[in-house]
Amino acid sequence: MAKDTNASDAKILREPAEVQYRHQLEALKQQDKDTPPSAWKLSPRAVLTYITGTAKPIKATIDGKAVEVPITRKFFGDDTIVERAIVTLASERALLLVGEPGTGKSWLSEHLAAGISGCSTLTIQGTAGTTEDQIKYSWNVARVIAEGPKTENMIPSPTMIAMKTGALLRFEEITRCVPDVQDALVSILSDKNIVVPELPDANMVFARPGFNIIATANSRDQGVNELSAALKRRFNYVHIPIVSDQKTEIAIVRDRSKELLERYKIPAKIEDSVLTVLATVFREMRAGTTADGVSFQKVSTTLSTAEAIGVALDSAIYSRFFSTGAVGVEDVARQLVGSVVKEDLDDLKVLKEYLSVVAKKRGAKDASWKAFHDAAMKAVTSAS
Ligand SMILES: Nc1ncnc2c1ncn2[C@@H]1O[C@H](COP(=O)(O)OP(=O)(O)O)[C@@H](O)[C@H]1O
Ligand SMILES: [Mg+2]
């Protein structure tokens, strides 16, 4: 079987998706039965398969050898979300992925760009300090002073490179940018060009077919700089929900932490029983109720799936270096406290309440819940 590179044998800590999963992308390309839209590397159906995975490996020829390549699932959740995202990117409109932090928006955006353009690195990270130059272009000032403004003295932005090559631009956290800067995108999205008034001859850069934008925004800070009406009209919104189904959440945490642990060369395996306790605690604390109808206060921190992956990973690293190497519920309990108590110290009280109302009761019947309760209580007491 052709395995994709795992960063553990690569020289780079985190390879972009198109490098890490290149065998999967190549296999899908060889098997692609549909015609991709202009400048797309894969057809929409193959992009969907790349993101949602296949049950069985697919046949391909990699480096001259006939192999079977497993296509792993990248994004877990409702597949129609991914379909809608792909359809939008094939249209005139740009795509905005909106949702709570840690729901996999950036992750989905990276894989969409890798599958469609074969390049996920043309990225702008939106911040309060993002300038119009970073979206359009800037100049090599020393050379402009010496030679005047010429095309060669221009420093193109990721947007300009994406336009020239007919690729996808990723715009992360777009609502963190101030409105003036966001407005620079209006003309790019409607006219599909950038005007360069400093260049007398070649003063327009046109976008090639294939160019489009995938932006992400956190619904938590939508209010910071909400998109202007003009920009809203040019985006299709796709809402990414928090995973509501426990099985799916366990699968995400299992898959992602396994991959990340391999990257850090940590040979720990987290048992499903431990993951189940972790996922249950996250779900219940998020909702403020349990499956058997006990209610308590909700925490103010977002307890996202990404946060659960973080806890799983930290528990495994802790257990590898300071404990037995077998990740137990005690390790999870210890790391959980830091995750829950982030924005607000009052959350510590909520966690305490949860532990005494829910975890303790379960502990009377179930040894893992007892171990979880005891270790978490100890950690909470020393944190408060
Ligand atoms: N539905 C999901 N499917 C796959 N991975 C997910 C999902 N939700 C969260 N993750 C994982 O959580 C981590 C953080 O996600 P990220 O894309 O950075 O979140 P966001 O951009 O929404 O804040 C990633 O490693 C990603 O793999
Ligand atoms: Mg993100």
Could you report the per-residue pLDDT of 52-71, keeping only the tens digit for each? 999 999 999 999 999 999 99
Same domain, yes or no: 107 and 164: yes
Q: What domain count does the chain have?
A: 2
Same domain, yes or no: 368 and 255: yes
Same domain, yes or no: 261 and 175: no
Same domain, yes or no: 214 and 274: no
The pick from 50, 73, 80, 103 for probing ligand 1's pocket by mutation, whose C-beta has the most ligand atoms within 8 angstroms, reads 103
**Minimal CA–CA distance to 350: which of 301, 296, 307?**
296
Secondary structure percentages of the chain, helix, strand, coil, to 5: 50, 15, 35
135-147 average pLDDT score: 95
pLDDT of res. 12? 84
pLDDT of res. 25? 98
Distance 106 CA to ligand 2 centre (A): 4
Same domain, yes or no: 317 and 365: yes
Residue 106 located in a structural domain: yes
Residue 361 located in a structural domain: yes
User: What pLDDT band is residue 93 in, cutting at 50, 70 and 90?
Assistant: very high
C-beta separation of 216 from 113 below 8 A: no
Q: What angle do the packed helices 305-322 and 246-263 form, to 10 degrees?
A: 50
Show the tokens assigned to 203: 């003063």
What's the rounded Cα separation, in Å, for the pair 163 and 192?
8
What's the rounded Cα separation, in Å, for the pair 369 and 274?
10
The pick from 72, 81, 107 for probing ligand 1's pocket by mutation, whose C-beta has the most ligand atoms within 8 angstroms, reads 107
Report the Cα–Cα distance between both ends of the chain, in Å, rounded.
51
pLDDT of res. 323? 85
What's the rounded Cα separation, in Å, for the pair 312 and 327?
9
Residue 287 located in a structural domain: yes
68-84 average pLDDT score: 96
The residues pairing with 97 across neighbouring beta strands, listed in sequence order, are: 216, 238
pLDDT of res. 7? 45
Domain of residue 361 covers 246-383
Same domain, yes or no: 95 and 66: yes
171-182 average pLDDT score: 92
User: What pLDDT band is residue 222 in, cutting at 50, 70 and 90?
Assistant: low
The residues pairing with 289 across neighbouring beta strands, listed in sequence order, are: 295
pLDDT of res. 269? 82
C-beta separation of 304 from 100 below 8 A: yes
Write out pLDDT tens, residues 309-325.
999 999 999 998 988 88
Q: What percent of the chain has pLDDT over 70?
A: 96
Ligand 2 (single-atom ion) residues, CB below 5 Å: 106
Residue 297 located in a structural domain: yes
Q: Give nearest CA residue, ligand 1 atom 9.
A: 104
The pick from 253, 264, 305, 311 for probing ligand 1's pocket by mutation, whose C-beta has the most ligand atoms within 8 angstroms, reads 305
pLDDT of res. 10? 65
Same domain, yes or no: 220 and 296: no
Atom of ligand 1 minimally distant from the CA of 256 = 27
Distance 201 CA to ligand 1 centre (A): 45
153 CB-near residues (< 8 Å, 6+ apart): 139, 140, 143, 144, 147
Same domain, yes or no: 223 and 295: no
Q: Are strands 123-125 and 137-139 parallel, antiparallel or unpaired?
A: unpaired
Q: Give nearest CA residue, ligand 1 atom 15.
A: 104
Same domain, yes or no: 234 and 293: no
What's the rounded Cα separation, in Å, for the pair 228 and 182?
8
Same domain, yes or no: 222 and 255: no
What's the rounded Cα separation, in Å, for the pair 214 and 236?
10
Show the tokens assigned to 353: 């309440």
Q: Is the pLDDT of residue 6 over 70?
A: no
Show the tokens assigned to 131: 């300038």
Ligand with an atom nearest the CA of residue 105: 1
CA 19, 96, 287 angle in degrees (round to 5)? 95
Q: Which of 214, 239, 264 is the last residue of a domain?
A: 239
For the whole prediction, is pTM greater than 0.85?
Answer: yes
User: What pLDDT band is residue 382 in, cutting at 50, 70 and 90?
Assistant: confident
Q: Is the pLDDT of residue 208 over 80?
A: yes
CATH number for the domain spanning 44: value is: 3.40.50.300
What's the rounded Cα separation, in Å, for the pair 358 and 296?
9
Q: E strands of 228-304, at which residues?
A: 235-239
245 CB-near residues (< 8 Å, 6+ apart): none
Distance 221 CA to ligand 2 centre (A): 12
Show the tokens assigned to 145: 């002073």
Same domain, yes or no: 64 and 209: yes
Query: 90: number of CA atoms within 13 Å, CB side?
Result: 20
Residue 303 located in a structural domain: yes
Residue 104 located in a structural domain: yes
Q: Which of 239, 267, 289 is the last residue of a domain?
A: 239
The residues pairing with 206 across neighbouring beta strands, listed in sequence order, are: 193
Same domain, yes or no: 175 and 257: no
**Minimal CA–CA distance to 240: which of 109, 120, 116, 118?**
109
What's the rounded Cα separation, in Å, for the pair 365 and 116?
51
Q: What is the mean pLDDT of the chain?
A: 91
Q: Give nearest CA residue, ligand 1 atom 16.
A: 104
Which residues line the pocket of ligand 1, CB cutoff 6 A?
Answer: 75-77, 99, 101-107, 216, 243, 252, 256, 305-306, 309
300-306 average pLDDT score: 87
**Minimal CA–CA distance to 170: which of 114, 110, 111, 230?**
110
Residue 1 located in a structural domain: no
96-115 average pLDDT score: 96
Ligand with an atom nearest the CA of residue 103: 1
Residue 2 located in a structural domain: no
Q: Is the pLDDT of residue 297 over 90?
A: no
Distance 307 CA to ligand 1 centre (A): 9
Q: Which of 185, 216, 239 is the last residue of a domain?
A: 239
